[in-house]
Structures are given as structure tokens and as C-alpha cells.
């Protein structure tokens, strides 16, 4: 199985901050990576697919980059509604696997 490791597991930030979350795959997954946002008691919502493509309707302050084994999700200017948990997921091969999540909290 491909292991997905996210860092940090949690972070505190203020509105307006630039936030970067890292996801590392245990083997090369090319660009077959997605990012999801999950708010408490809600289903995950797709933000980014194919490492850097913005899902329709997602604000442009979200961006993704990377390829191979190292990926990042960046929020250019954190907004109040962005406080949530973020997950990466690889779909290079089965079984499909998720990272452990990064919780973004208010400082």
C-alpha cells in the first residue's frame, strides 16, 4: 500500500496568514493526488485534484503543487471559513489511501 504522510498534524494560524500543508507519498504517485477539506460533522469536500487543479467553485486562495512523492497545499490568505481539517489522497494505484489529516485551528 502507498502510505500518505501529512505534516504538520495540526497548526494554529490567524486570518490573513499564508498556510502550507505538506503531504508525502511512500512511493512515486506522479500527480495523482487530491486534497479535501472537512469541517466538523460534515462530509469532505474536494479542493484540488491532479495535484494542482482547482475543483470547480473552490476559491483561488487554495492552490496545490508537487509531483512524485512530495506535495503541498497552500492557502494564500486564510479566511475564517478555512478553519477545518485537510486530507490528501492518492489515486495512483489501489488501495486508494488518505493522509492522516492536518487540522487548521484559530490562533
Partner 1 sequence: QITLKESGPTLVKPTQTLTLTCTFSGFSLSTNGVGVAWIRQPPGKALEWLALIYWDDDKRYSPSLKSRLTISKDTSKNQVVLTMTNVDPVDTATYYCAHRLSFGELHFDSWGQGTLVTVSS
Q: Which residues, in sequence order, are CB contacts of 54 under 8 Å at separation 6+?
A: 47, 48, 60, 62, 63, 64
Residue 101 contacts partner 1 per CB under 8 A: yes
Long-range (24+ apart) CB contacts under 8 A made by 52-57 are none
Closest distance between partner 1 and the C-beta of residue 82, in Å? 18
Decide whether 48 or 75 has the Cβ nearer to partner 1: 48
CA 84, CA 66: separation in Å to the nearest integer? Answer: 22
Residue 96 contacts partner 1 per CB under 8 A: yes
Decide whether 15 or 96 has the Cβ nearer to partner 1: 96
What is the 3-state composition of the chain as percent helix, strand, coil, each rounded to the nearest 5?
A: 5, 50, 50
x/- mask, partner 1, residues 5-44, rule CB under 8 A, reads ---------------------------x-x-x-----xxx
CA 57, CA 14: separation in Å to the nearest integer? Answer: 24
Decide whether 31 or 61 has the Cβ nearer to partner 1: 31
State the residues that interact with partner 1 by CB under 8 A: 1, 32, 34, 36, 42-46, 49-50, 53, 55, 87, 89, 91, 94-101
Amino acid at each position: 500500500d502507498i502510505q500518505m504522510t501529512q505534516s504538520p498534524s495540526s497548526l494554529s494560524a490567524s486570518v490573513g496568514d499564508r498556510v502550507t500543508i505538506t503531504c508525502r507519498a511512500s512511493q512515486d504517485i506522479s500527480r495523482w493526488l487530491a486534497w479535501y477539506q472537512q469541517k466538523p460533522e460534515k462530509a469532505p469536500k474536494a479542493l484540488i485534484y491532479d495535484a494542482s487543479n482547482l475543483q470547480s467553485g473552490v476559491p483561488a486562495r487554495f492552490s496545490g503543487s508537487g509531483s512524485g512523492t512530495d506535495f503541498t497545499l497552500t492557502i494564500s490568505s486564510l479566511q475564517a471559513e478555512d478553519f477545518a481539517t485537510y486530507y490528501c489522497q492518492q489515486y495512483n494505484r489501489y488501495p486508494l489511501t488518505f493522509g492522516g489529516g492536518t487540522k487548521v485551528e484559530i490562533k
